[in-house]
């Protein structure tokens, strides 16, 4: 384990990618972003005496893209698995808006089935998040606003936040008694 030695620097791109994918699922864009600096470093080491940086530059992204294509073809890299793992990890703590925003940052989207599943469970998830943080609905407008900001900050929709605070976090009646 020599961090400054030649071993870590000369590890192949495929080895790095497989190591990162073994730790957790990655999106294609995220993995590409992480691999590019290493690919450039490897190319610079291999081309140090022969070529200029401009000769190495255009070839490096193509090599990384080819590796990503190979990883997808051999099912090491999967957008669907990435989305499922990210939703599973975030659903207990965050609302639909936050989950969708995070997936958009990775340039992936939810499938219609997953989208509907999240939509159907959002109220129950918001109640659980609220109940872990607060024991009762705030008595003053300032306390209620604080609770609403908390849930909104977690990515729950305004309608879901209103329902949770109106019902006091209780599962209660699913009907529309106030409508």
Give the pLDDT of residue 2: 45
- 31 touches 77 (CB < 8 A): yes
Higher pLDDT, 12 or 160: 160
Q: Positive or negative CA dihedral for 30, 34, 36, 37?
A: positive
- 55 touches 47 (CB < 8 A): yes
Using DSSP, state whether 148 is helix, strand or coil. Answer: helix
> In terms of Cα–Cα distance, which of 94, 113, 112 is closest to 102?
94
Each residue's pLDDT tens digit, 118-162: 999 999 999 999 999 998 998 999 999 999 999 999 999 999 999
Q: Positive or negative CA dihedral for 142, 143, 145, 150?
A: positive
The verdict on pTM exceeding 0.85 is no
The secondary structure of residue 77, as a DSSP letter, is S
Task: Please state, rounded to an integer, the average pLDDT across all residues of the chain.
Answer: 85
Q: For residue 172, is pLDDT > 60?
A: no
In the numeric block, the tokens 């089935």 are attached to 113
CA distance 75 to 83: 15
Radius of gyration of the chain (CA): 23
Angle, in degrees to the nearest 10, between helices 96-105 and 112-133? 120
Higher pLDDT, 171 or 18: 18
The count of C-alpha atoms lying within 13 angstroms of the C-alpha of 86, restricted to the half-sphere facing its C-beta, is: 26
């Amino acid at each position: 384990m020599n961090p400054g030695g030649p071993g870590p620097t000369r590890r192949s791109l495929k080895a790095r990618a497989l190591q990162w994918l073994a730790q957790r699922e990655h999106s294609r864009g995220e993995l590409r972003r992480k691999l590019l600096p290493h690919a450039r470093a490897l190319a610079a080491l291999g081309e140090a005496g022969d070529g200029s940086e401009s000769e190495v530059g255009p070839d490096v992204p193509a090599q990384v893209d080819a590796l990503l294509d190979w990883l997808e073809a051999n099912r090491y890299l999967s957008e669907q698995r990435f989305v499922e793992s990210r939703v599973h990890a975030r659903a207990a703590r965050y609302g639909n808006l936050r989950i969708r925003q995070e997936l958009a940052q990775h340039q992936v989207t939810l499938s219609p089935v997953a989208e509907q599943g999240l939509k159907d469970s959002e109220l129950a998830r918001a109640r659980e998040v609220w109940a872990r943080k607060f024991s009762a609905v705030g008595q003053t407008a300032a306390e209620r606003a604080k609770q609403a900001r908390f849930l909104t900050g977690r990515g729950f929709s305004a309608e879901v936040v209103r329902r949770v605070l109106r019902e006091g976090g209780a599962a209660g009646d699913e009907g529309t008694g106030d409508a």
